[in-house]
Amino acid sequence: MSKFDFEALERDYLSRFRKKKRVNIAICSLIFVLGVLSVIFIFKFDKEGIMTFRWLTVDGTIFTTVGALIYIVVNLIEMYGKTEVTYISAYYVRLSCAVAEALIMTVVLMSQLPIFDQHMHILRFDMFNMHILIPVLTISSFVLNDAPIGKIKPFYRLRGTWFVTFYSVVIITLILTDTITGNMIPYFFLDFDNMSLSLILITFVVIYGSAYLLSWGISELNRKLSWRWFKNVIRK
């Protein structure tokens, strides 16, 4: 390869690299704005006060919004430094955001099936943002734009369930200490006084199993698809 070809290749690579970062910054900025507006909207609209934060969707949106802000800063550093600086811990934070959003979207879409009598107001501004738009933006942004960290060992994929684990520990602690009781318990399977132990265990196995599978699938998609930005450069 001639010096001219190498320089042209390098310029092409840097151009695609910067474009990739700009796209990610734009999407993360949109996620951040939508997240802030949605949390403010639901906090004022539902008038539940501090109890608004007992919901997985609300807490997941806050977590993802903070994650988006972190990645705006990371991508700015990468764009102007012309190199990937993503640390493994930051990667798992974003993966955990994507897993949380995928779980939220899956559960909510299932709740819209005809077999359920009650349906959420999915088209309401905050509901649509938190259950559909932010999840789609977060997952697609992570899969296509974030720098992969290579193959991940099966045990380490549990790191993609960080948020689900954190939420579970906090909400269960609040319920067991009677800080949250009665109709304030956010989900039926957390009503430990009125559910059998076997059903509680099955529910948690299903939730964590789903979160783990989502962590595996999303991280694999990221590893295989993120470098499509540079496929033509690589072929040269």
> Percent of the chain at pLDDT above 70?
87
**Confidence (pTM):** 0.86
pLDDT tens profile 42-74: 888 877 777 888 888 899 999 999 999 998 998
- How confident is the model at residue 110, as a pLDDT? 73
> Which ranges of 47-87 would DSSP assign to H, the alpha helix?
56-81
**C-alpha angle with apex 136: 142 to 133, nearest 5 degrees?**
135
pLDDT tens profile 184-193: 888 888 888 8
- How confident is the model at residue 234, as a pLDDT? 45
pLDDT tens profile 202-220: 988 999 999 999 999 999 9
Q: 233: pLDDT confidence band, cut at 50, 70 and 90?
A: very low
From CA 39, how far away is CA 58, in angstroms rounded?
7
> Percent of the chain at pLDDT above 90?
37
From CA 210, how far away is CA 106, in angstroms rounded?
10
**C-alpha angle with apex 73: 128 to 170, nearest 5 degrees?**
55
Helix (H, G, I), strand (E, B) or coil at 148: coil
